[in-house]
Structure 1
Amino acid sequence: MTALEEGALRTAHLVASVLLGYPDERLYGEREVLERAVAGLPEGEVRDRLAAFLEHARIAGQVELAAHYVATFDLKRRCCPYLTYYAYGDTRKRGAALLRFKHAFRSAGFELADGELPDHLAVVCELLARGAVREARRLLTENRAGVELLRRALEAEHSPYADVVAAVLATLGPASLRDQEAALRLASQGPPAEEVGLEPYAVMEASR
């Protein structure tokens, strides 16, 4: 796949960030705008996958898609959208991993607000869309195995959200052998199960 130029990359991630959030008026009120943005992307997997989800959203309607979102992301651990969960579970090591995300956001000029952990895939996509391409790509690359596991879990559930996650992965280029081995290892071992409290981090707010 030909790498997307920065403008197209940011557009793709902006659309993905909206689609991976709860399907409220941000999605349905701006669906036609999102469709035009996707239509303007270069031909290829990224455009096709995002367009497929938007078509599903149009046909399913907001109530049905919202119910599916809750049943998938809120009730199935294997479909967790928080990237550090796959490698660290609910352990103390996950807290350190979350700090890496928090520092990446701050170095890019963004602050985190209350309400969401910084490793939610939609939030990282939004970070890239807002211009922190290098920082966001690094986070996604470092946690690619987790993103790949999320895609596989969504495909196993026959969820349309698998298309959006696959589109995000496609923007990173082909997975290396090391990435593939890491995904297989995480899939076979599963996340650690130590239960600890985690300080809440949240969706970013631009500080500039």
Structure 2
Amino acid sequence: MQSLLLAYPDERFHAELPLVRRAAAAFPDPVGAPLLRFADHAEQAPRTVLAADYVATFDHRKRCCLFLTYYAHGDTRKRGVALLRLKQAYARAGWRLGDDELSDHLAVVLEFAAAADDAHILVEHRAGLELLRIALRDSGSPWADVLASVSATLPALSGDERTAVARLAAQGPPEEQVGLAPYIPTAAPAAVSRPPGTPGGSR
């Protein structure tokens, strides 16, 4: 469900809000309540305003980037390797990404985690997730509730993860740019193609 709420708020997004409400009501309160708050906001806000807010938040603020490997690697060579590893992990599970989709977009990772019942990619990128959650919270973004719901499904932060979050908050991601094309597109990806019979989940 969280992945649906991180998509660009187009007609499909608004059509799926009732489904999100029904599913969120069945989740434990730390997971479901933030999703219901966001759904309230999304239904009440003018659609053009919500869409403009989405673009201003996720396309124009580096600390609110939805591409998880950016937090650890920035636009460096290591990020290309990390993207490839994620794509290979999806392929092993029978998933196929479109040519215009990046494997580290949070909505894609959430779809995979829910369908495969495997949150290891989210856990591996926990520092970046927490930095995104904090940035959204501090900016007063309604999408902070969606990230709060995601965090509530994951194990508590360990000492090393807290250190990593603090480092990212203070320094930001690496900035090596040599020989690289930008990795951050302005458009959110479409949903991942799932293998037949794959169930959905809370993410």
TM-score, normalised with respect to structure 1: 0.85
Do the aligned partners of 2:42 and 2:50 also contact (CA within 8 Å) in 1?
A: yes
**1:186 matched residue in structure 2:** 168
**2:117 matched residue in structure 1:** 133
Any stretches of 5+ residues in structure 2 without a counterpart? 197-203
Question: Equivalent residues in 2 for 1:46-195 (5 A)?
Answer: 46-129=31-114, 131-134=115-118, 137-195=119-177
* CA deviation after TM superposition for structure 1 residue 26, in Å: 2.0
Indicate the RMSD between aligned Cα atoms, in angstroms. Answer: 1.8
Distance change (3 Å), C-alpha of 1:198 and 1:101? farther
- For residues 49-99 of structure 1, what are the alpha-carbon distances to aligned partners after superposition, in whole Å with 9 as ceiling and x for unaligned? 111110111111322111100000011111101000011000001011111
Q: Which amino acid aligns with 1:169?
A: S
Do the aligned partners of 1:84 and 1:94 also contact (CA within 8 Å) in 2?
A: yes
Aligned residues: 190
- List 4+ stretches of structure 1 deviating above 4 A: 198-203
* CA deviation after TM superposition for structure 1 residue 47, in Å: 0.8
**1:26 matched residue in structure 2:** 12
Measured in 1, the distance between the counterparts of 2:120 and 2:32 equals: 22
SS at match of 1:205: coil
* CA deviation after TM superposition for structure 1 residue 198, in Å: 6.4
| Higher mean displacement: 192-201 or 23-32 | 192-201
Any stretches of 5+ residues in structure 1 without a counterpart? 1-14
* CA deviation after TM superposition for structure 1 residue 197, in Å: 2.4
Higher helix share: 1
Do the aligned partners of 2:38 and 2:146 also contact (CA within 8 Å) in 1?
A: yes
Matched residues, percent identical? Answer: 50
- For residues 15-54 of structure 1, what are the alpha-carbon distances to aligned partners after superposition, in whole Å with 9 as ceiling and x for unaligned? 1010001011222112112111111223x21111111110
TM-score, normalised with respect to structure 2: 0.87
SS at match of 1:41: coil
- For residues 168-199 of structure 1, what are the alpha-carbon distances to aligned partners after superposition, in whole Å with 9 as ceiling and x for unaligned? 11100311111111111111221111221268
SS at match of 1:113: coil
Q: Please say if 1:206 is aligned against 2:194.
A: yes
